[in-house]
A and B are shown apart, each in its own frame.
Chain A
Amino acid sequence: MFNLFLSFLKIGFLAFGGGYGALSLIQDEIVQLNHWIDAETFLNLIAIAQITPGPIAINSATFVGYELYGILGSAVATLGVIIPSVFWLFLLEMIIKLLSKKIDVQKIFFILRLSTFSLIIAATLRIGISSIFSLFTIFLFLTAFLLLKIFKPSVIWIVLGCGGAGVIYSLFA
Chain B
Amino acid sequence: MNSLKLFLIFSKVSSLTIGGGYAMIPVIEDFLVKKDKILNEEEFLDIISKAQTVPGVIAINTAILLGYKLCGVPGAIAAILGSAVPPFIIVLIIASLFNKFSDNKIINGFFLGARVGVTVILSNLCLQLLIKYKKNKLSLVVTFMGALSIVFFHLPSVLILFVVAIIIIAMEKGKKYV
- For A114, give its contact among B98, B110, B143 (CB under 8 Å): B143
Question: What's the minimum C-beta distance from A63 to chain B, rounded to whole angstroms?
Answer: 5
Known: A14-B161, A24-B157, A81-B57. A54 touches B120 (CB 8 A): no
A121 at the interface (CB under 8 A from B): yes
> Could you tell me if A119 and B161 are in contact, using CB atoms closer than 8 angstroms?
yes
Task: List A contacts of B165 (CB < 8 A).
Answer: 111-112, 114-115
> Could you tell me if A52 and B18 are in contact, using CB atoms closer than 8 angstroms?
yes
Q: How many residues of A contact B (CB 8 A)?
A: 100
Known: A115-B168, A120-B122, A166-B110. A144 touches B117 (CB 8 A): yes
Task: List A contacts of B6 (CB < 8 A).
Answer: none
- For A43, give its contact among B14, B65, B95, B118 (CB under 8 Å): B118
- For B92, give its contact among A71, A117, A119 (CB under 8 Å): A71
Question: What's the minimum C-beta distance from A57 to chain B, rounded to whole angstroms?
Answer: 5
Select from chain A the residue with minimum beta-carbon distance to B105: A170
Question: What's the minimum C-beta distance from A141 to chain B, rounded to whole angstroms?
Answer: 5
Select from chain B the residue with minimum beta-carbon distance to A172: B109
> Could you tell me if B56 and A107 are in contact, using CB atoms closer than 8 angstroms?
no
B1 at the interface (CB under 8 A from A): no
B64 at the interface (CB under 8 A from A): yes
Docked CA distance A140–B14 (Å)? 30
> Could you tell me if A55 and B21 are in contact, using CB atoms closer than 8 angstroms?
yes
Docked CA distance A138–B134 (Å)? 27
B123 at the interface (CB under 8 A from A): yes
Q: Which of B125-140 contact A (CB under 8 A)?
A: 125-126, 129, 133, 136, 139-140
A131 at the interface (CB under 8 A from B): yes
Task: List A contacts of B19 (CB < 8 A).
Answer: 50, 154-156
Question: What's the minimum C-beta distance from A149 to chain B, rounded to whole angstroms?
Answer: 8
Docked CA distance A154–B109 (Å)? 22
Docked CA distance A54–B50 (Å)? 20
B74 at the interface (CB under 8 A from A): no
Q: Which of B23-55 contact A (CB under 8 A)?
A: 23-24, 50, 52-55
- For A82, give its contact among B15, B17, B57, B157 (CB under 8 Å): B57
Select from chain A the residue with minimum beta-carbon distance to B167: A115
B121 at the interface (CB under 8 A from A): yes
> Could you tell me if B146 and A115 are in contact, using CB atoms closer than 8 angstroms?
yes
Question: What's the minimum C-beta distance from A171 to chain B, rounded to whole angstroms?
Answer: 7
Known: A55-B59, A55-B87, A112-B165. A120 touches B129 (CB 8 A): yes
Task: List B contacts of A50 (CB < 8 A).
Answer: 18-19, 114, 117-118, 121
Q: Which of A1-26 contact B (CB under 8 A)?
A: 10, 12-20, 22-25
> Could you tell me if A62 and B115 are in contact, using CB atoms closer than 8 angstroms?
no
- New contact pairs (18) apart from A55-B24, A117-B140, CB-CB < 8 Å: A13-B56, A18-B22, A18-B52, A53-B90, A54-B88, A54-B90, A57-B57, A62-B92, A66-B96, A89-B64, A89-B65, A91-B54, A118-B143, A121-B143, A127-B119, A145-B124, A160-B117, A161-B117
Interface residues of B (CB under 8 A from A): 14-24, 50, 52-61, 64-65, 80, 83-84, 86-88, 90-92, 94-96, 98, 105-106, 108-126, 129, 133, 136, 139-140, 142-148, 150-151, 154, 156-158, 160-162, 164-165, 168-169, 177
